[in-house]
Amino acid sequence: MPTLPVLKIALPVPLYKYFEYRAPLGTAFDNIQVGVRVRVPFGKRILTGIVVEKCPKSSLAPDKLKTVQEILDTKPVFDPVLKKLLFWVARYYQQPTGEVLNAALPKALRKQKHIRTASKAIYRACTKKAIGQLLDRAPKQRQVFELIKAHPAGLTADEITAHMSHWHPFVHALIDKNLVQKTTCSKVSAKPPRAVAESLTLTQEQRHAFEQVHRSIRQFGVYLLAGVTGSGKTEVYLALAKDVIARGKQVLMLVPEIGLTPQLVQRIESRLNIQVALMHSDLSTGEGAQTWLQANTGQASVVVGTRSAIFLPFRNLGLIVVDEEHDLSFKQQEGILYSARDVAVYRAKQLSIPIVLGSATPSLESQHNAILGHYRNVTLSKRAKLAKIPQVKLIDLRSKHAIDGLSSELLQAIETELKQKHQVLLFLNRRGFAPVLLCHDCAWTAECARCDSHMVFYKGQDIIKCHHCQKQEKAPVACPQCGSENLIFLGEGTQRIENRLKKIFPDTAMIRIDRDSTRKKHTLQDKLEEVRQGKHQIIIGTQMLAKGHDFPNVTLVGILNVDHGLLSSDFRASERLAQLIVQVSGRAGRSAKKGRVLLQTHQPEHPLLNRLLTHGYQDFSKEVLRQRERCVLPPFSFMLLVRARAHQQDLTYRFLREIKSSMLPSGSSGLNLFGPIPASLERKAGMYQSQLVAIATSRKAIQARLPNWTTVIQQHPLAKRVRWNIEVDPLETA
Ligand code: ADP
Ligand code: ZN
Ligand code: ZN
């Protein structure tokens, strides 16, 4: 039987393999390039994949082979350097190549053949021509002409409409008379240029930080910019970006969350007098496609984006900035599992350009890399403005009277600030009214039927809701177990705090910012803007408030309860907690007004907490690093998780136990496999989850075996009955 030449294609499916297809009829096999996109039938679906190899012979019988439906490109869709990066991601993180490649395509290119530059018409007046009496008998045309003439940079249709309605025929008459010229502008959202802001004079520390990076701006180097909250890290990024753009190169700024971008984008645009391109998951297909194009053509000088922006096809990238580098959001938690921060470091190295990792609370991984000399330390120890970093004061909750989680000491402090017309920010990392609904008579609690968790009570709506699977139901009025109506709400969520404060301070404007109150698009941004404008005096919120926001009028930050962070079983919990405390505290006293921070706790003697509060984050980090070294935990070792989920508990265990025995290296040292152990929330949405943990003293010990492991796991008979994934360098391990 003659075998046919075939195309090997990477498809966006969770399988570690390529798929063979015949070239479409009538297409010369030789003319098809590796790297082009193709549409192929896959089961009942049609998928877009990428040709990764051309083989003279198929491994399948000809009657088993399907045919490519359409070839979408003539040239490879990724340039060779970006392609190398994507294949590295697939190998290093052991994620299916087809899924990685797919993640790097803008949504538009996962379906359509081309994306076109969206263009807008721009109307400009031709001032060279004398109008004389041309418009004497056309007052409407004159009116339109005067309007357009008053804007030498030109006006878009929308902008003309903002001034007058029904103008089209008059503009076209003017075009006929050669008085107005219609051109197109290729920017999809050509906004009128912002007022250009003057550069700030860098402080001595900022200048020094800038120079440390600038000295080697044309080379690879990782700079860990550790700058206290409000130290002006952004100013350092801007100064560097300005220099890079002036050399005709592009800048990528990665941010953890899109909620942070409007303020930042505004600052970049007004300072550098450019238009920033955005990349994040809330963009429409069209908007994402435009950013992809603008990165590719070099038209975008600065791209601000979340994780996936690291895969944009920059034409001429000159600098990468990762702001808030410690943030968990850089680690993708679903789909393909990778760390955008670490991929960014690889990309910078690949392109021989500098990368700045900025944070007030650098991750222990990055600090360790700086100690090893892989990253260079750049420090900003003072706030840029007069303001001092506020001291954190502990409020011992033990045996104190606190109503709804608010101690009288904190309430007094709030009152003092309110009287002075200052803003107060209260932080609690729990949504809803109360995390537990309990029967006072028989100790029944409302639990989720599908998860190992309590249902959270919401007042007003009177519902109980599971935060893990989103299941919700009407709250019972009587105990379903004993019939008692003596149901009590245990613990506090943000809604309860808001409720209580409204009673105590009925005339004070307050706002709650958490995932419940900001579900709709743009509400977070709108609410943050209201806070900045001073519309609310009390701001109650979850960790959404911890990140990078500049609220100049906030003088008091109250951290209501972080004790669960001290009790967590994840070895990174103390690091996370310290970052949270420092970041939230950093929202206080950012202008000339002095700030203070009060932290309520039942564990005022906790050694790490004390270390953080008396000696600061750096000293705290050193101590935690010493502990990690003693226990050979990351960053002193390298970790990998194999997770399995199934509807039957024993299935995940059996699967993991069996693959563990085939993963176990014979006679190798420096690699340990633990488990299977249940995940901290073992049952979630009706599925059981457990995991294997691999810890190695060298990255090589894991990396060398990884491809083999995925093969072994994939071939296991149970692999089709459980949902499993591999995570390299996991950040959440409990
Ligand atoms: P960070 O990013 O480190 O939290 P920002 O860059 O947002 O800090 O700066 C904090 C505040 O200090 C901002 O209001 C900013 O305008 C101001 N600022 C920063 N650098 C300077 C400077 N050199 N001169 C005056 N103000 C500055
Ligand atoms: Zn009961
Ligand atoms: Zn649930």
pLDDT of the residue at 436: 95
Please give the number of the atom of ligand 1 that sits closest to the Cα of 229: 4
- What the block records as the tokens of 655 is 């699967």
Please give the number of the atom of ligand 1 that sits closest to the Cα of 267: 16
How many angstroms does the Cα of residue 487 sit away from the middle of ligand 2? 8
How many angstroms does the Cα of residue 54 sit away from the middle of ligand 1? 54
Q: Can you tell me the distance from the alpha carbon of 488 to that of 455, in angstroms, rounded to the nearest whole number?
A: 13
How many angstroms does the Cα of residue 306 sit away from the middle of ligand 1? 22
Those residues whose beta carbon sits under 5 angstroms from the ion ligand 3 are 448, 450-451, 466, 468-469, 471
Torsion, CA 33, CA 36, CA 42, CA 46, rounded to 10: -130
Q: Give the Å distances, CA to CA, from 333 to 338, 340, 642.
A: 8, 11, 14
Contact of 307 with 335, CB cutoff 8 Å: no
pLDDT of the residue at 469: 94
Collapsed DSSP state (helix, strand, coil) of residue 511 = strand
How many angstroms does the Cα of residue 487 sit away from the middle of ligand 3? 21
| Nearest CA residue ID for atom 19, ligand 1 | 232
Ligand nearest to the CA of 439: 2
Q: Can you tell me the distance from the alpha carbon of 59 to that of 4, in angstroms, rounded to the nearest whole number?
A: 9
| Nearest CA residue ID for atom 4, ligand 1 | 230
* Single-letter amino acid, residue 481: Q
Would you give the DSSP letter of residue 569? Answer: S
Contact of 355 with 237, CB cutoff 8 Å: no
- What the block records as the tokens of 250 is 């592009």
| Nearest CA residue ID for atom 21, ligand 1 | 384
Contact of 272 with 245, CB cutoff 8 Å: yes
Site to probe by mutation for ligand 1, drawn from 210, 234, 359 as the one with most ligand atoms within 8 Å of Cβ, is 234
* Mean pLDDT of successive 10-residue stretches along the chain, which has 734 residues: 84 94 90 95 96 92 90 94 97 96 93 71 74 82 88 78 81 81 58 66 96 97 95 95 94 88 87 90 88 92 95 97 95 89 98 98 97 97 82 88 91 96 94 96 96 96 95 96 96 96 96 91 86 94 82 91 83 93 88 86 91 94 96 95 95 95 73 91 94 92 88 92 95 82
Q: Can you tell me the distance from the alpha carbon of 684 to that of 645, in angstroms, rounded to the nearest whole number?
A: 9
- CB neighbour list of residue 492: distance below 8 Å, 6 or more residues apart: 404, 405, 428, 430, 434, 435, 560, 561
Q: Can you tell me the distance from the alpha carbon of 9 to that of 427, in angstroms, rounded to the nearest whole number?
A: 50
Is the Cα torsion angle 465, 466, 469, 474 positive or negative in sign?
negative
**Beta strands across the sheet bearing 180-185:** 155-156, 120-125, 180-185
Please give the number of the atom of ligand 1 that sits closest to the Cα of 206: 23
How many angstroms does the Cα of residue 456 sit away from the middle of ligand 3? 10
Is the Cα torsion angle 197, 199, 205, 207 positive or negative in sign?
positive
Closest alpha carbon to 36 in 101, 127, 92, 96: 101
Within 10 angstroms of residue 656's Cβ, the number of other Cβ atoms is 25
Please give the number of the atom of ligand 1 that sits closest to the Cα of 552: 14
Cα–Cα–Cα angle for 690, 695, 701, rounded to 5 degrees: 125
- For the chain, give me the number of helices (H) and strands (E)? 21, 33
How many angstroms does the Cα of residue 575 sit away from the middle of ligand 1? 26
Element (H, E) at 437: strand 436-439
Collapsed DSSP state (helix, strand, coil) of residue 188 = coil
Q: Can you tell me the distance from the alpha carbon of 683 to that of 685, in angstroms, rounded to the nearest whole number?
A: 7
Q: Can you tell me the distance from the alpha carbon of 560 to that of 354, in angstroms, rounded to the nearest whole number?
A: 40
pLDDT of the residue at 120: 65
Would you give the DSSP letter of residue 77? Answer: S
Closest alpha carbon to 610 in 585, 588, 587, 578: 578
How many angstroms does the Cα of residue 529 sit away from the middle of ligand 1? 18
Please give the number of the atom of ligand 1 that sits closest to the Cα of 227: 3
| Nearest CA residue ID for atom 11, ligand 1 | 230
How many angstroms does the Cα of residue 560 sit away from the middle of ligand 3? 26
Cα–Cα–Cα angle for 371, 610, 497, rounded to 5 degrees: 115
Site to probe by mutation for ligand 1, drawn from 235, 261, 321, 326 as the one with most ligand atoms within 8 Å of Cβ, is 235
Q: Can you tell me the distance from the alpha carbon of 190 to that of 517, in angstroms, rounded to the nearest whole number?
A: 32
Q: How far is CA 381 from the centre of its chain?
A: 26
Those residues whose beta carbon sits under 5 angstroms from the ion ligand 2 are 439, 441-442, 444, 479, 481-482, 484
Contact of 375 with 366, CB cutoff 8 Å: yes
How does strand 66-67 pair with strand 19-22?
Answer: parallel
Site to probe by mutation for ligand 1, drawn from 385, 386, 554 as the one with most ligand atoms within 8 Å of Cβ, is 385
Q: Can you tell me the distance from the alpha carbon of 327 to that of 362, in angstroms, rounded to the nearest whole number?
A: 9
Contact of 309 with 254, CB cutoff 8 Å: yes
Q: Which residues line ligand 1 (CB under 6 A)?
A: 200-203, 206, 227, 229-235, 384-385, 550
- What the block records as the tokens of 87 is 């294949």
Q: Give the Å distances, CA to CA, from 63 to 21, 66, 173.
A: 11, 8, 65
Q: Can you tell me the distance from the alpha carbon of 387 to that of 241, in angstroms, rounded to the nearest whole number?
A: 26
pLDDT of the residue at 276: 93
Please give the number of the atom of ligand 1 that sits closest to the Cα of 236: 6
Is the Cα torsion angle 26, 29, 30, 34 positive or negative in sign?
positive
Contact of 570 with 451, CB cutoff 8 Å: no
How many angstroms does the Cα of residue 706 sit away from the middle of ligand 1? 45
What does residue 597 show for φ and ψ, rounded to 5 degrees? -130, 130
Ligand nearest to the CA of 587: 1
Q: Give the Å distances, CA to CA, from 576 to 562, 568, 573.
A: 11, 11, 5
Strands (E), 633-722: 638-646, 671-684, 687-696
SS3 sequence of 160-172: HHHHCCCCHHHHH
How many angstroms does the Cα of residue 94 sit away from the middle of ligand 3? 30
Strands (E), 193-281: 221-227, 250-254, 277-279
| Nearest CA residue ID for atom 23, ligand 1 | 202
Ligand nearest to the CA of 386: 1
How many angstroms does the Cα of residue 256 sit away from the middle of ligand 2? 44
How many angstroms does the Cα of residue 355 sit away from the middle of ligand 1? 20
Ligand nearest to the CA of 453: 3
Is the Cα torsion angle 501, 502, 504, 507 positive or negative in sign?
positive
pLDDT of the residue at 415: 97
Cα–Cα–Cα angle for 325, 511, 508, rounded to 5 degrees: 135
Ligand nearest to the CA of 445: 2
Residue that has been written with the tokens 């920059």 in this structure: 314
Would you give the DSSP letter of residue 331? Answer: B
**What is the per-residue DSSP string for 580-619?**
HHHHHHTTSS-SSS--EEEEEES-TT-HHHHHHHHH-HHH
